[in-house]
Structure 1
Amino acid sequence: MKRIGIIGAMALEIELLKNNININTSKNIAGFDFFLGDIDNKDVIITRCGEGKVNAASCTQILIDRFGVDSIINTGIAGGLHESVKICDVVISSNVTHHDVRKAQMENCFPYRECFQADEKLIEFAVEACESHHSENWNYHIGRIVSGESFIQDIEIKKNLLRDYSPHCVEMEGSAIGHVAHINNIPFVVIRSISDNADDEATISYNAFETIAANKSAEIVLSMLQML
């Protein structure tokens, strides 16, 4: 893997990574800041796409078109959905999909897929990284990640997502990154640490754990870079 693109939605999700990259140059394209450099002798580009799927898709396409990345890792935080997923656990994407687009539309319109598969090799590296960091205080999971244009903080919506998609967690960017990576034939994986349970107390939990969870996800990505 020659050049690795790393995307976080918010500044706090890439702060630890930026602190560890030897930045050679930075560029601003279409309002997105791209930091080019190296980590552990790996050619890396780190960027913050902002919240939401449109921002994430736009930023991902720029990474591919303008910077020629060979693989993409999305890092950040998410709301836990599956009953086995706890606060500060890590979810590695097996696949990603949009929860706010009908399945029939996904299957019948380009690119004719209900979900987008994460790269098996990147998943293996993520698992190895999690194993190297693992402790009694948190666990890691491999499963579906769903994305939509809203912060989920309603127990009824959570139940519906579990019923319809059987996901491990929910956020706002991963499926768009996976979608764009797929149509460009670029390997990707989404790494998310859980900040809340996507329920009626989500906002309180999010405020308490967002930085802890963001840093945990970034630590996993840093370990992955040592292995790639």
Structure 2
Amino acid sequence: MIGIIGAMDVEVQAIKNKMHNIEEINYLDSIFYKGNIKEKEVVLCKSGVGKVNAAIITTILLYHFDIDFVINIGTSGGMIPSQETLDIVISDRVIQHDFDTSYLDGPEGLGIYSQSDKSLGDKIKEAFDKNHIEANIYFGDIISGDKFVGDNSLIKDLREKFPQAIACEMEAGAVGQACEKFSIPFVVIRSLSDIVDKDNSENDFLKNVEITSKRSADMVESFIENLA
């Protein structure tokens, strides 16, 4: 069974539109949609925005369902100036950029790192190539924190601390850490709604979130269809 987690209603609805035989299940006032995509059994849920919400929903999901692996879907902001909206990012590692005990622990205290499953990332890339999607695809580190990244000073600080980051968002780091605790493989696939250091990134996010949510859902559907 595949677990799929999105942060917002628009992200979850884009996946739900791909599902059939849907059954709604309620745990702790959280709705889980159990059904099928391309004959594969999936459980879809909304975390809400932020790392605490993401950690809670991932824990409930993995405790109550027999999940083989987790896909965290939706939108993110691009960290590479040459990126364009609608480009696709796939996680190598996810990093909680706002975890910082470096004052006490030195450089090792900066960030919590969780490793994505490489084979899942490779299969998503195969689905991307097979479907000839008109976008660029990036593999790399996705950074997470409990703040929308739009301020120039924050962007500069994050680039200095995490120069390898390809995208930023607000949930994936917590999803990854919870999955590691349960020894469940995970991967993050996001479509870029904005590029953080381009003008009007907040407005770009609001304008593009529905389009990028659909793009992310299309990628997940293609990936599931290509599973052996």
Which AA in structure 2 matches 1:91? V
Partner of 2:189: 191
Decide whether aligned partners of structure 1 residues 71 and 103 sit closer, same or farther in structure 2, where only a CA change above 3 A counts: farther
Cα distance, 1:65 vs. partner?
0.6
Once the two structures are superposed, residues 96-152 of structure 1 have per-residue CA deviations (whole angstroms, 9 ceiling, x without a partner) of 01010016479569xxx84111101110111112213344x5201001000011111
Ranges of 4+ aligned residues in structure 1 off by more than 2 Å: 103-109, 132-135
Cα RMSD of the aligned pairs, angstroms, is 1.9
Shift of 1:178: 0.5
Percent of aligned pairs with the same amino acid: 36
- In structure 2, what is the equivalent of residue 220 of structure 1? 219
- For structure 2, the 5+ residue unaligned runs are none
Q: Which range moves more in the overlay, 97-106 or 36-45? A: 97-106
User: What displacement does 1:24 show?
Assistant: 3.9
Q: Secondary structure at 2:146's aligned position in 1?
A: coil
Do 1:193 and 1:216's aligned partners in 2 also have CA atoms closer than 8 Å? yes
Quote the offset at 1:13 in angstroms: 0.6
| Offset of residue 198 of structure 1 | 2.0
Task: Give the C-alpha shift of residue 208 in structure 1.
Answer: 1.6
Give the SS at the match of 2:73: strand
In structure 2, relative to structure 1, the CA distance for the partners of 1:103 and 1:118 (3 Å cut) is farther
- Pairing partner for 1:145 from 142, 145, 165: 142
Q: Is the 8 A contact 1:89 1:140 kept in 2?
A: yes
Aligned to 1:201: 200
- TM (norm. structure 1) is 0.91
Q: Which amino acid aligns with 1:204?
A: N
Q: 1:85 aligns with which of 68, 83, 86?
A: 83
Question: Partner residue of 1:28?
Answer: 26
* Aligned-partner Cα distance in 1 for 2:75–2:59: 22
Q: Which residue of 2 aligns with 1:132?
A: 130
Aligned length: 222
* TM-score when normalising by structure 2: 0.91
2:189 partner letter = I
Q: Distance in 1 between matches of 2:140 and 2:109?
A: 24
Contact 2:81 2:195 in 1 (8 A): no
Give the AA of the match of 1:10.
Answer: M
Aligned letter for 2:82?
S
Conservation of the 8 A alpha-carbon contact between 2:23 and 2:35: yes
User: What does 1:156-175 correspond to in 2, within 5 Å?
Assistant: 156-166=153-163, 167-175=165-173
